[in-house]
């Protein structure tokens, strides 16, 4: 079954051109010109991934994402203006999986969509049922438990809700506790395509991971920063 991509943007030219490009690659598309209309459609009948513009009338992309995150972990890519660094960081902090600055290459957007969908399927979040082959083994490190087949994470028995990108970064760190992972290595773990992602994106994901774990345990400090080197998962 083809994956369905929802496009939400008030620029009809972008909606038309991106929709045509995605359909040529075998995707199904649904398009919306404002956040309010998209919110009900995306919650009532979730697609496999949504591409959201940030700057929209009636309800902007940030508010749409905030409302979506109350009900779903639907993978989301943001489209941002070139100079909207604050919006990019805020979007990632709120749970977006990735962002692309306008003007953008449709080829790049399609590559990132494929990468996120592949990670979603790896984490057991796809719509196509059980993955073929054996399920990925449960990973336990101290108080951390990760179940890739269920896309489930707990800390001291409490659930921690992560996006697909957050899950993949945490898994890369927890697989080898005590070993420093550079930002490039974490990029490779989270983005299997040959896609450029800057350091700030990885740093934003790490900050969001820490924030989510501290919501269930204010003393959480298992993800350590090694300045100038990268990050590691504490052995303790």
Same domain for 11 and 112, yes or no, is: yes
**Alpha-carbon torsion (36, 40, 43, 48), positive or negative:** negative
Instruction: Evaluate whether 56 touches 7 at the Cβ level (below 8 Å).
Output: no
Determine which of 73-77, 93-97, 126-130 has the lowest per-residue pLDDT on average: 126-130
Same domain for 113 and 163, yes or no, is: no
Domain carrying residue 186: 139-233
Same domain for 29 and 115, yes or no, is: yes
Same domain for 33 and 93, yes or no, is: yes
Same domain for 148 and 118, yes or no, is: no
Q: Tokens representing 3? A: 């994956």
pLDDT digits (tens, 9 = 90+) for 197-228: 556 778 888 998 999 999 999 999 999 999 98
Same domain for 228 and 143, yes or no, is: yes
Across 102-116, average pLDDT: 86
Phi and psi, residue 29, nearest 5°: -130, 150
Tell me the CATH number at 167: 1.10.10.10
Same domain for 66 and 102, yes or no, is: yes
pLDDT value, residue 92: 74
Phi and psi, residue 101, nearest 5°: -85, 140
Same domain for 104 and 156, yes or no, is: no
**Coil vs helix vs strand at 142:** coil
- Residue 27 covered by a domain: yes
Instruction: Evaluate whether 120 touches 126 at the Cβ level (below 8 Å).
Output: yes
- Residue 133 covered by a domain: no
Tell me the CATH number at 14: 3.40.50.2300
Same domain for 15 and 118, yes or no, is: yes
């Amino acid at each position: 079954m083809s994956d369905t991509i929802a496009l939400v943007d008030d620029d009809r030219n972008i909606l038309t051109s991106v929709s045509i490009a995605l359909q040529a690659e075998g995707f199904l598309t649904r398009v919306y010109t404002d956040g309010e209309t998209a919110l009900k459609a995306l919650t009532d009948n979730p697609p496999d991934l949504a591409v959201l513009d940030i700057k929209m009338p009636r309800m902007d992309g940030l508010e749409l994402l905030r409302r979506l995150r109350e009900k779903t972990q639907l993978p989301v890519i943001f489209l941002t203006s070139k100079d909207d660094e604050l919006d990019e960081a805020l979007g990632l902090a709120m749970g977006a999986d990735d962002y692309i600055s306008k003007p953008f290459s449709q080829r790049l957007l399609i590559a990132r969509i494929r990468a996120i969908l592949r990670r979603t399927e790896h984490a057991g979040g796809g719509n196509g049922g059980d993955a073929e082959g054996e399920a990925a083994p449960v990973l336990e490190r101290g108080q951390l438990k990760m179940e890739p087949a269920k896309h489930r994470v707990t800390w001291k028995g409490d659930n921690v809700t992560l996006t697909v990108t957050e899950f993949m970064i945490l898994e890369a760190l927890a697989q080898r506790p005590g070993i420093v992972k550079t930002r490039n290595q974490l990029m490779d773990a989270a983005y299997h395509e040959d896609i450029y992602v800057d350091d700030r994106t990885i740093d934003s994901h790490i900050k969001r991971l820490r924030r989510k774990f501290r919501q269930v345990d204010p003393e959480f400090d298992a993800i350590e920063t090694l300045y100038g080197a990268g990050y590691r998962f504490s052995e303790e």
